[in-house]
């Protein structure tokens, strides 16, 4: 027996991992009704994808989930390598990522949080919007036309098929999922057939919980045992190069392999959960959309865990497409806006994949001379010294929907794409860049806030940097923002360097008390400057007059072809 949904669904999300959940929460906060389904019959309890980089935590802050993530997570901790045989004598101590200074414009550091906890946080916040993940539900077929998509769904334990009609579909159903195949996307790259990785969450006694423990045999394996926040709980991996730990998804076999390779039989395993086996793959799609169907996360790209980019890039995908889908569904944006998802994300993913693939070669690359522990001080072994991994320099300067009145320093589209992942560190921000944070903004009542407290995924934010005396220029900008087709999803701030600007109806006024906003955005306090920040926290426009503002808005609402 087949059934059809009586009410069309604006957006159907297939897959309830981090990318699907992030997209769901973004859409829910935009007031878009959604359904989110997953073929699994229960939520997993695995710690995979446990590293959250600074840009992801910024996105979490915009979505209102960062506080929960910090409460449940741990800061990054040192790694300690032990000499073999024996496995107890330290051979080196270092951090996976270099510590970087926390600055007013870059306030976040990395965080360790098990993926199942991240997903639980998102599900809890979705519940506040009346959204629940529908488990045991998977797509069987999909057909789209000019007005929408029809998807056939099968529910575990229920006879028959449900047909859902929706405006858009977002596939976040993983590398083996249905949606990528449904849109005819290729999955190009390589699989490391001679290698393998076995992962587990364990309860263990006989080893400290204040450091990340490592054992390695050059060219063969690396074992990493990372403490979790819960007492005596660890996330453990046996990763092989030219050595495949296949068959270790049984607790007894996993434990015996650990003892045999490390020699550490003094460590007692009390329990195993979340055992999994994975063969390293470095692949990405040739396209992330087809018509009204979009894919994100592992459905679009998979790679080595080295670099910790998987979950982080997946959340970036979701945050990029979700606000665009919201505007398109509300009738506020041209269909051209949806095409920028591929345009913006594919170059970033390509460079990310190259970076993580390069790091994979460092997984067991200690020099064997003098034993497994030799050469650690000069080695690149598990030292991720690529600042791009923090994802703060990802940018979309080549995107046809962004507009900078100053141009792009004469760089053509290909040159801009080449810097899409590593960015332009030390250079002034331009349209397409991540919008920096700026604290110490004070209103007329003396209340203090920051840009990151103001930025939300359901609104554009127009920053009007006003000269000393607010003149007709700022008033005209505020009026133009209020009169634009995006007025219902736009918030306007007038920022003064020397004090709180005079009140303008339709805008909030703040004193940039410590000058952080002017400095971060490279603004001359004597010149009227307008910066439009998109709902995903990227700069959409950097202009100096109403005409420039309207040029950007027209690219969103009317297209750019």
375 falls in which pLDDT band (50, 70, 90)? low
pLDDT at 367: 54
Domains 75-110+193-279 and 403-557 share a fold: no
> 310-329 and 18-29 helices cross at what angle (nearest 10)?
30
278 falls in which pLDDT band (50, 70, 90)? confident
Contacts of 471 (CB under 8 A, 6+ apart): none
| pLDDT tens digits along 529-556 | 999 999 999 999 999 999 999 999 999 9
pLDDT at 524: 85
What φ, ψ does residue 279 adopt, rounded to 5°? -105, 125
Distance (Å, whole) CA 206 – CA 442: 52
| pLDDT tens digits along 204-226 | 999 999 999 999 998 889 999 99
341 falls in which pLDDT band (50, 70, 90)? very high
pLDDT at 45: 87
359 falls in which pLDDT band (50, 70, 90)? confident
Q: Please determine, for residue 98, whether its predicted confidence score (pLDDT) is greater than 90.
A: no
Query: Residue 406 has which token pair?
Result: 């100053």
What residues form DSSP beta bridges with 404? 542
| pLDDT tens digits along 116-166 | 999 999 999 999 999 999 999 999 999 999 999 999 999 999 999 999 999
Homologous superfamily of 75-110+193-279: D-Amino Acid Oxidase, subunit A, domain 2 (3.30.9.10)
* Per-position DSSP letters for 275-287, written without gaps between them: EEEE--EEEEES-
pLDDT at 328: 98
pLDDT at 373: 46
pTM of the model: 0.95
pLDDT at 100: 81
pLDDT at 244: 87
pLDDT at 377: 54
Section 320-328 average pLDDT: 98
Q: Which range (104-113, 186-195, 250-259, 402-411) has the least confidence?
A: 186-195
Q: What average pLDDT does the chain have?
A: 93
274 falls in which pLDDT band (50, 70, 90)? confident
In angstroms, the first-to-last Cα distance of the chain is 46
| pLDDT tens digits along 14-28 | 999 999 999 999 999
Q: In 3-state terms, what secondary structure has residue 431?
A: coil
Residue closest to 260 by CA, chosen among 245, 275, 279: 245
| pLDDT tens digits along 383-403 | 888 899 999 999 999 999 999
Distance (Å, whole) CA 33 – CA 131: 9
pLDDT at 534: 98
Section 250-278 average pLDDT: 95
| pLDDT tens digits along 44-81 | 888 888 999 999 999 999 999 999 999 999 998 999 99
For domain 2-73+113-188+284-360, the question of CATH label 3.40.50.300 is answered with no
Please report, for the chain, the start and end positions of each structural domain, with discontinuous segments joined by +: 2-73+113-188+284-360, 75-110+193-279, 403-557
- Label the pairing between strands 161-171 and 293-295: parallel
pLDDT at 369: 45
pLDDT at 455: 98
Distance (Å, whole) CA 236 – CA 275: 10
Q: Please determine, for residue 178, whether its predicted confidence score (pLDDT) is greater than 50.
A: yes
Q: Please determine, for residue 407, whether its predicted confidence score (pLDDT) is greater than 50.
A: yes
The CATH class of the 403-557 domain is alpha beta
Residue closest to 94 by CA, chosen among 110, 114, 79, 77: 79
What residues form DSSP beta bridges with 460? 490
Q: Please determine, for residue 470, whether its predicted confidence score (pLDDT) is greater than 90.
A: no
What φ, ψ does residue 208 adopt, rounded to 5°? -75, 155
CA–CA distances in Å: residue 263 to residues 89, 199, 209, 223, 260: 12, 19, 19, 12, 6
Asked if 287 and 275 touch (Cβ cutoff 8 Å), the reply is: no
| pLDDT tens digits along 289-315 | 999 999 999 999 998 888 889 999 999
């Amino acid at each position: 027996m087949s059934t059809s949904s009586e009410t069309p669904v604006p957006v159907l999300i297939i897959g309830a991992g981090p990318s699907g959940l992030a997209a769901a929460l973004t859409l829910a906060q935009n007031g878009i009704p959604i359904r989110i389904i997953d073929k699994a019959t229960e939520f997993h309890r695995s710690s995979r994808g446990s590293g959250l980089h600074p840009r992801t935590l910024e996105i979490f802050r915009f979505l209102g989930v960062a506080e929960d993530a910090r409460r449940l997570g741990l800061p990054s901790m040192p790694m300690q390598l032990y000499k073999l045989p024996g496995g107890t004598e330290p051979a080196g101590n270092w951090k996976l990522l270099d510590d970087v200074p926390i600055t007013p414009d870059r306030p976040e550091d990395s965080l360790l949080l098990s993926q199942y906890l991240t997903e639980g946080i998102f599900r809890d916040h979705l519940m506040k919007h009346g959204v629940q993940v529908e488990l045991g539900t998977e797509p069987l077929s999909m057909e789209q036309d000019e007005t929408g998509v029809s998807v056939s769904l099968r529910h575990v334990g229920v006879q028959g098929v449900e047909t859902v009609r929706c405006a858009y579909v977002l596939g976040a159903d993983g590398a083996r999922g249905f949606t990528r195949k449904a849109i005819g996307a290729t999955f190009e790259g390589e699989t490391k057939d001679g290698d393998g990785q076995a992962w587990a969450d364990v309860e263990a006694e006989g080893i400290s919980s204040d450091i990340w423990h490592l054992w390695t045999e050059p060219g063969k394996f690396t074992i990493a045992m990372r403490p979790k926040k819960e007492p005596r709980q660890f996330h453990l991996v046996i990763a092989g190069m030219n050595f495949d730990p296949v068959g270790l998804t049984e607790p007894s076999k996993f434990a015996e392999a650990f003892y045999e390779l490390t020699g550490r039989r003094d460590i007692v395993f009390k329990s195993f959960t979340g055992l999994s086996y994975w063969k390293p793959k470095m692949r990405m799609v040739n396209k992330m959309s087809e018509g009204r169907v979009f894919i994100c996360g592992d459905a679009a790209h998979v790679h080595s865990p080295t670099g910790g980019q998987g979950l982080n890039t997946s959340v970036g995908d979701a945050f990029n497409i979700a606000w665009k889908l919201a505007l398109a569904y509300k009738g506020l944006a041209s269909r051209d806006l949806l095409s920028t998802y591929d345009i913006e994300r594919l170059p970033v993913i390509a460079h990310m994949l190259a970076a993580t693939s390069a790091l994979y070669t460092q997984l067991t690359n200690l020099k064997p001379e003098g034993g497994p522990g030799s050469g650690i001080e000069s080695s690149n072994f598990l030292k991720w010294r690529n600042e791009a991994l923090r994802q703060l320099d990802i940018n979309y300067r080549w995107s046809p929907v962004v507009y900078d009145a100053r141009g792009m320093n004469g760089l053509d589209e290909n040159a801009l794409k080449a810097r899409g992942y590593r960015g332009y560190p030390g250079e002034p921000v331009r349209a397409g860049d991540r919008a920096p944070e700026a604290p110490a903004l004070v209103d007329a009542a003396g209340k203090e806030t920051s840009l990151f407290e103001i930025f939300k995924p359901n609104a554009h934010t127009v920053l009007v940097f006003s000269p000393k005396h607010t003149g007709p220029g700022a008033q005209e900008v505020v009026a133009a923002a209020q009169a634009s087709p995006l007025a219902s999803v736009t918030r306007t701030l007038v920022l003064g360097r020397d004090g709180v600007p005079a009140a303008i109806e339709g805008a909030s006024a703040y004193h940039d008390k410590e000058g952080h906003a002017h400095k971060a955005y490279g603004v001359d306090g004597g010149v009227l400057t307008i910066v439009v920040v998109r709902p995903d926290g990227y700069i959409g426009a950097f202009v100096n007059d109403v005409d420039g503002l309207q040029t950007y808005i027209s690219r969103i609402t009317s297209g750019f072809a």
